[in-house]
A and B are shown apart, each in its own frame.
Chain A
Amino acid sequence: MSEPNDPELDELEGRLSRAFAGTRPRRGFEDELWARLERRGSAGRRWPWRRLAPWPAAGALAAVLVIGLVAVLALPQLTAGHPASGSPKTQSGSGVSQPARGQAGTAGAARPNQLPEAAAGSFGQLPSPALAGDPGSPGTATSTGAPVPYFGPARLTVTAQLPATPDTLSVYRYPQPTAADMDAFAARLGASRAGVAGTPTVYRSADFRLDLAPASAFVEPRFTVSGIAGGATGSDAQAVADQFLSAHGLTPSWPAGAHSADGPEGRTVLYQRQFPIAGASPAGEVDQFGAAAGLEVVVAAGAVTRVRGPLPLSLESSAYRSRGSQQAARDAVTAPPGAGNGGSGVPQVVLNRAVLAYMAVGDGDHGYYLPVYLFSGTFSSGGVTMEKRVVVPALDASQHR
């Protein structure tokens, strides 16, 4: 398309075409962005604290001191456990209540799905779980008017009652699926690569498209069924979802709690994965944004339009020493990205909720489901209710790299 008789421009144009065709976002970006979109995106606008100038050294020092002071002042207010239920409170000297750490040494009994139990801590030091929200940017709004997740800097205090946690917690490990594993999973659903050009993780059947995604840093290997033709229909979204999953052999083999909510593409039924905790309520899986995770089924106009969930994985488990609630609360206050430059635009947030949860973390040839404390608290900015989320590993710091 360049001017005639100018081979040099022709050559340049050819190189440009190859450059555009060969320029791709980094690996994992597509799935990360899609995950954000799925959490519902209104976050096109930027937030004031995103564009703040780099810290001057003195400002940074002052901010660190402020954080430390806030942490020290906040600690006496920290509470843990459930006083109403008579959980023992200790460590009055520090002003921090200690939750019941019952069932000490019983973590070996926490065996979801009769998993084989390896020796305690047998996986070695583990990667550290963390939220993958873009530091300094907002999360994405939900369509239901729920608070907008926020991952930027904030001044934090903790008033949450931490859940009772055993002395040890189970860690679950899985090997990354091979291409043969993915082919086998697709074949089980009646899908194949026949007639599919290009991306080796796309499969098709007569009734749907199947995308298989290998694990990334914060997402376990997942499948997505879309472009669905036919299937169950009905007015009860969960019943339709249940029927579709059963018909295709996709009903979760792991414990799950189902709930549903309206979204832009229809009603989403989420089967949140549950991990048993010895002597306590199960802990739900959360994703890299701190939102409930598991298997999602989107139902629109009475029919299933998309299914997304973790690939079946072979799990083994091992018990690791847990982190004390006092330490977890301290770590929440100082969790990155901290208080930014300490300017007036940085919100002050009281983290008044804390739950024990599990997060998927990829690490080379293996991935893990790791226990975490998920702290949260809301604040208002420009008339919008936002939710600050902080994740702190629930295992003792020595167990992580």
Chain B
Amino acid sequence: MGFVYVGLRLRPVPAEKPAFEDLYRGYIDRIYAYVRSQLGNAADAEDVTAQVFMKAYQAYGRYEPRHQTPSAWLFKIARNAALDQHRQAGRQERLRQAAAREPASEVAPDILAEERLIYRELMEAVSRLPDRQREAIGLRQSGLSFLEVGGLMSCSEDAAKMLYHRGLRSLRGLLPPEASQSPEAPA
């Protein structure tokens, strides 16, 4: 067992590297959900999730678990991949293309079957948040601590909290009244 500095705190982390497949299978759902929240459509989310794990697979030989938790390491790659995607396509253009490509009535059945409608609506709303708020919401909701979110976003823990709360308020404003107030639809 080793230790890693997270901010000013020492956090124990396993010194042994897990098998990459264990890491992959343990994190793929969380990484996909994070990317999905950042990009707003399932097709791009699959594409970028694949890129994340390709990059992780290539870099795994250099990954040192004593210096970084697997979660922080993978989400750093995922965040960069999502940002690259935004930069490449241009966010507004990408959203326009997504809307044209993935109208609610024409989503592939297998994707629809996997995503409850209410989740999809929320994730797409998150993807429309201002960049920093969107990242804070996505990383925090992916299970990272505010300390880790701040570390990835190059800001303090308090600043990460502030971005997150602003994001929640902005999100409330983006959701239609009936969606933001009604109880969750059954599966």
Contacts and interface: CB of A to CB of B under 8 A. Distances in A.
Contact of A25 (B21, B32, B37, B108): B32
A20 B33 contact: yes
A226 B55 contact: no
A15 B184 contact: yes
Contacts of B33: 20-21, 23-24
A9 B168 contact: yes
Contact of A34 (B21, B110, B123): B21
Given A9-B168, A30-B25, A140-B54, A23 B115 contact: yes
Given A34-B21, A226-B19, A12 B171 contact: yes
A211 B55 CA distance: 24
Interface string A50-66: 00000000000000000
Interface stretch (A39-47, A94-102, A186-194): A39-47
A24 B21 contact: no
B142 interface: yes
Given A2-B168, A12-B180, A34-B21, A27 B110 contact: yes
Contact of B32 (A9, A24, A28): A24
A19 B122 contact: yes
Contacts of A305: 19
Interface string B29-73: 110111011000010011001110111011011000000000000
A263 to B, nearest CB: 11
Interface size class of B (residues with CB under 8 A): 35 or more
Most A CB atoms within 10 A — which of B20, B50, B113, B161?
B50
A12 B141 contact: no
Nearest to A25: B32
A328 B57 CA distance: 37
- Tell me whether chain A's interface is mostly helix, strand or loop, or mixed: mixed
B169 A264 contact: no
B105 to A, nearest CB: 18
Given A9-B169, A12-B172, A37-B24, A24 B141 contact: no
B96 to A, nearest CB: 14
Contact of A227 (B19, B24, B180): B19
A37 B57 contact: yes
A34 B168 contact: no
Contacts of B116: 22
B134 to A, nearest CB: 12
Most B CB atoms within 10 A — which of A17, A25, A36, A41?
A25
B172 to A, nearest CB: 6
B58 A42 contact: yes
Contacts of B118: 15, 19
B18 to A, nearest CB: 9
Contact of A265 (B20, B25, B115): B20
A3 interface: yes
Interface string B1-26: 00000000000000000011110110
B140 interface: yes
Given A140-B54, A305-B19, A18 B165 contact: no
Contacts of A265: 19-20
Contacts of A20: 30, 33-34, 37, 141-142
Contact of A306 (B21, B36, B108): B21
Given A12-B171, A26-B108, A27-B114, 4 more contacts: A12-B168, A23-B33, A24-B32, A41-B53
Interface of B: 19-22, 24-25, 28-30, 32-34, 36-37, 42, 45-46, 49-51, 53-55, 57-58, 60-61, 88, 108, 110-111, 113-116, 118-119, 122-123, 126, 137, 140-142, 161, 164-165, 168-169, 171-172, 175, 180-181, 184
17 contacts: A1-B164, A9-B172, A12-B175, A12-B180, A13-B168, A15-B122, A19-B118, A24-B29, A24-B33, A24-B114, A24-B115, A34-B24, A40-B57, A41-B54, A44-B54, A265-B20, A306-B21
Q: 4 closest Cβ contacts across the A-B interface?
A: A41-B54, A23-B33, A19-B119, A20-B141
